[in-house]
Amino acid sequence: MTFKAAIFDFNGTLFWDTKFHDSAFDIMLLQHGVKLSDVEKRTKIHGKTNPIIMRGIFGEAITDTEVEKMSNEKELIYRQLCVNDLQLAPGAEDLFNYLVKKEIPINIATSADIENLNFYFQNMHLKKWFSIENVAYDNGSFRGKPFPDVFITAAAKMGLTPHETVIFEDSFAGIQAAEQAGAGKIYIVNSNNNCFNQFSHQIISHFDEVDRGVFTI
């Protein structure tokens, strides 16, 4: 079976930046008297939007203003940490070039907010392959992962359903979201040496491992 398009998660999938996110959260949370273990980061942070993360850590009673303030604190620290190390994942550019050459639509579905999205596009030359107007990101209009909304939105912006696409993900919440969206095929990008035994999808650590034959040409 072949598929019409590809949808990529960004953080931890196309940009292996988990260490920067974790460090930024460590710094920000310590200022608020909180420390998370690596296991807690995986379950409370990875793949999720900032409002879900902040309320999962500080409780549902915190206000939208408090969520926004702490989110901005964390993202500013994050951008400062990673600005000098903005590299796409191994093999990603070659895969993009192949898909664009074959006129196979590609899109990004991310839990990042608009500030970080603009940061990536400006500094990582993403407009060579992607249209920022088509990207599905955390704009507050839909539920975050593990809900499927972001992948449904990303596919719809290409005039497709997730079932017609190949989705690339690295986080547990993101994989669950891709499954719930009904993705035609899921590649798990193992950028952090995690154990994915609970899933049956193909695991890759380099985008050269992607079978180009799964795409409809």
Q: pLDDT tens digits, residue range 165-211?
A: 999 999 999 999 999 999 999 999 999 999 999 999 999 999 999 99
Structural domain of 185 = 5-16+86-214
We report the CATH number of the domain holding residue 51 as 1.10.150.240
Q: Are strands 185-189 and 202-204 parallel, antiparallel or unpaired?
A: parallel
Q: Is the pLDDT of residue 136 over 90?
A: yes
Q: Are residues 95 and 68 in the same domain?
A: no
Q: What is the pLDDT of residues 29-82, one digit of tens each?
A: 999 999 999 889 888 898 788 899 999 999 999 999 999 999 999 999 999 999
Q: Name the DSSP class of 104.
A: -
Same domain, yes or no: 101 and 197: yes
Say if residue 152 is in the same domain as residue 192.
yes
Number of structural domains the chain divides into: 2
- Which residues fall within 8 angstroms of residue 171, CB to CB, at 6 or more apart? 9, 12, 46, 47, 145
**At 165, phi and psi to the nearest 5?**
-125, 160
Together in a domain, 119 and 33:
no
Of 60, 82, 104, the residue at which a domain comes to its end is 82
Query: Do 113 and 132 fall into the same domain?
Result: yes
Q: Whole-model pTM above 0.95?
A: no
The dihedrals phi and psi of 186, each to the nearest 5 degrees, come to -125, 130
User: For position 184, what pLDDT does the model report?
Assistant: 98
What CATH number does residue 98 fall under? Answer: 3.40.50.1000
Is the four-CA dihedral 41, 73, 79, 15 of positive or negative sign? positive
